[in-house]
Amino acid sequence: MRNAISFFSGCGGSSLGYKLAGVNVLYANEFVPKASDTYKLNFPNTIMDTRDIRTIQPQEVLDKINLKVGDLDFLDGSPPCASFSTAGKREKNWGKVKAYSGKEQRTDDLFYEYIRMVKDIKPKVFVAENVRGLIMGKAKGYFNKFLAEFNKLNYNVKASLLDASYLEVPQMRKRVFIIGVRKDLNRQPVFPKKQKRLIVKPVYDKNYPIEEEAKKMPPSYMKYLINLKQGEQPQGSFFSLKRNHLYRPSYTILATYGKGACVMHPYENRHMSIAELKDICSFPQSFKLIGKYTDQAERLGRSVPPNMMKNIIKTLRKEVFNENT
């Protein structure tokens, strides 16, 4: 079986994708307690390291999983993206310590920590994920620096903007993926082909139970929601308030889901239930989440959709390792 390790693992969306693609995740690193606790619940056989990645030495990781430099198949990572997200303040936060999922830390330098791990562990393939804001505006300068660093490490490197709604996820979620294949393997990075786009109607046909928190709606929202049709969003200060359309993929589920104006149910004046959000983010209903409603929604909103990653890794297993999964 192919193996992988994961940095900035979150609650395990990416790791679940690897598992679905037939890859064993041996080690994961996640700094945020609510995320790492959720990960441990769902992946009890994976080593969870909760330290700040800045304090971790690559050889320590290899020793924990009993591998030598160059033996690892996949090195996965989703460095925190708040500093590059189009949903954030972007440039104002670059180089600053800021709140991130209950922690205070600088986030725009963490991609270099991921690169450090790739450099010293020398996996056969690395897969890095980030928000589309990384390739927009001034942030593109960071993106080009990251690519330049990867190219110094003896990898064939390619990047692509992928939409999860074409990869078995009923959600419009665009993310940048950077894939590197070690040059001695004589293969190029390959991205999955688009599949039939999914719609959200099957999610709402299931009549899942609805949390009371999902029903709570500030009066300031209601005046917009009452007349908001499927697939629409109001203009002005409530531009983030959107109503899903039954016959389209869901709008993007953000980490702030339930804490402010966000994606609403197609025909009921409420937020989505956690069960509905799991389906929209391609998590199985059996996936365990902890904490209050907004904590659980945040974990899903911060995650790489498992089915999206599954398709990426299956493609790489086929094209790089000549394996049919």
Domain CATH code at residue 270: 3.90.120
CA distances 278 to 12, 39, 181, 182, 235, Å, are 13, 15, 32, 35, 28
Residues 52 and 186 in one domain: yes
81 belongs to the catalytic site: yes
Residues 144 and 282 in one domain: no
Span 300-307, mean pLDDT?
A: 97
Residues 34 and 53 in one domain: yes
pLDDT of residue 234: 83
**Alpha carbons 285 and 298: distance in angstroms, whole number:** 16
Considering all CA atoms of the chain, what is the largest pairwise distance in Å, rounded to the nearest integer? 61
pLDDT tens digits, residue range 61-80?
A: 999 999 999 999 999 999 88
Residues 128 and 39 in one domain: yes
pLDDT tens digits, residue range 118-158?
A: 999 999 999 999 988 888 877 788 888 888 899 899 999 99
Cβ count near 231 (within 10 Å): 14
Residues 81 and 148 in one domain: yes
Structural domain that includes position 75:
2-196+304-321
pLDDT of residue 6: 98
Residues 153 and 211 in one domain: no
pLDDT of residue 90: 43
Instruction: Judge contact between 253 and 173, C-beta under 8 A.
Output: yes
CATH number at residue 48: 3.40.50.150
Residues 91 and 175 in one domain: yes
Residues 219 and 315 in one domain: no
Residues 272 and 191 in one domain: no
Name the active-site residue from 11, 81, 262, 281: 81
Residues 226 and 314 in one domain: no
